[in-house]
Amino acid sequence: MVTIRDIAQACGVSIATVSNVLNGKKNVSAEMRTRVMEKVREMNYTPNSVAKNLKTKKTRTLGIIVEDITIFSIPDLVDGITECCEVNNYRVMLSNLRLFQKFDDAYYHQDVYREQLHEVLRLLLADQVEAVIYISAHERTIHCLPDHFPIPLVMCYAYSATPGVPSLLIDETTPTKELIQSAIDMGHRRIGVITGKQDSVHTQQRLLAYRQALAQNGIPYDPGLICEGDWERESGIRCTDRLLEQGATTIFCMNDLMAGGVYARLKELGLVVGRDVGVMGYDNRLLSQYLDPPLTTVELPLHDLGCRAGEIALAALSAESAPPPEHTYVAGKVILRGSVQKIEPPLE
């Protein structure tokens, strides 16, 4: 590997002169700067970042821990953090816990991975990352981050139970109310719901927003229009008949996978999505735009949430920065497509 000493010998100058050129010091003539840089390119010299980091005690590296990279939401969150780091000339070091692959969703309510997480944090400290962002697979309260960690920690897509660790979260309320309002504005008053799992924060927040939207429009809440799903396509199929029996004119599914199940069941019944029964989803997964008709849904602000998490983590490295808020929310946006159409509301 070519060193500064090799460059200095090839140029017939001191090591200090080469160092001054590489570090942009002004006390070097233009001729000498050109001569040294030509030799640097010719010899394919690459600075030793490890040695430089030992000297400056700065690695310009951000650690990212993800619960499982195979979960659909995580790549966009990582991409947002990476973009933020790229703009700020930081690198990222990614650790994948692979929790869903190891434990399925059993780990959501346990800290079975605490030791594994703490070992990863120790390794990131050994690699001298300057801050760490922990990315959850879905929103819940996480208790297993260590207290008094020596570098900034940021929680992304979950609530941190650790004092001093800020949380970046999705605003579920605003877009859900807008989604339900869009159906009400088209004449729908019997809006059925296929929920996610009942213990999910996403389910609870979206159901509350649904009820708020009804109340704001003077529409009574009917528990008969709520059918419990489990985020999977089959529960969309299963709940469709029940909601139709309750007189639902449109069906709000709390994710796009269950909405796909509703599409399939309506087709079996000879009903046309949009014309006969409206369908709404959530997440704006890739499949939503390829359904026929394309699905009205909510786009999660995953990239923006990741970028904001990166900004907060990097800001924490500055002594002049004010402490971040305990919770920072980023709202998604409603994507209106052809799966819900205007109807004439029934006479009351």
Buried b (16+ CB within 10 A) or exposed e, 66-98: bbbbebebbeebbebbbebbeeeebebbebbbe
Provide the β-strand partners of residue 171: 331
Q: For position 52, what pLDDT does the model report?
A: 53
So what's the pLDDT on residue 3? 84
Tens-binned pLDDT, residue by residue, of the chain (348 aa): 778 888 888 888 888 888 888 877 778 888 888 888 888 888 887 766 545 554 546 789 999 999 999 999 999 999 999 999 999 999 999 999 999 999 888 888 888 889 999 999 999 999 999 999 999 998 999 999 999 899 999 999 999 999 999 999 999 999 999 999 999 999 999 999 999 999 999 999 999 999 999 999 999 999 999 999 999 999 999 999 999 999 999 999 999 999 999 999 999 999 999 999 999 999 999 999 999 999 999 999 999 999 999 999 999 998 777 888 999 999 999 999 999 999 976 655
The pTM (predicted TM-score) of the whole model is 0.81
CA-nearest of 279, 193, 265 to 228 is 193
